[in-house]
Amino acid sequence: MESLEGLLPDLQSWLEKMIIRGVDLRITLDLLEQGATELGPDGITILIGNTLNGVHTVNQEAIHILKAGSVQGSGVERTGGVSGSRVDQEIRY
């Protein structure tokens, strides 16, 4: 887990490059899945769990965020980061 903790700034920068901003990125020992995305009224949280490749997991969670934004039409805007109203949901894989 320590090696993933050291990667958090790089993973956050990677999200910024994809124009996904304002995301709370966390590593959690309690998560059995590789990753999870929580979209709620307080914003977007990406949880990194039981993964061997943090970059792959962040990429996968970014896909979920972008899909949720395109489906909902207001949760995430590709060109503007996180804005507007958000839908309460949790995405796990």
CA 80, CA 62: separation in Å to the nearest integer?
Answer: 14
pLDDT in tens, 45-73: 999 998 888 889 999 999 888 887 754 44
The strand pair at 35-40 and 43-48 is best described as: antiparallel
What the block records as the tokens of 27 is 């590593």
Determine the 3-state secondary structure of 38 from DSSP.
strand
> Residue ranges of the domains in the chain?
2-92
State residue 76's pLDDT score: 46
pLDDT at 44 > cutoff 50: yes
Selection from 39, 36, 55, 59 nearest residue 47 by Cα: 36
Taking the model in full, what pTM does it have?
Answer: 0.67
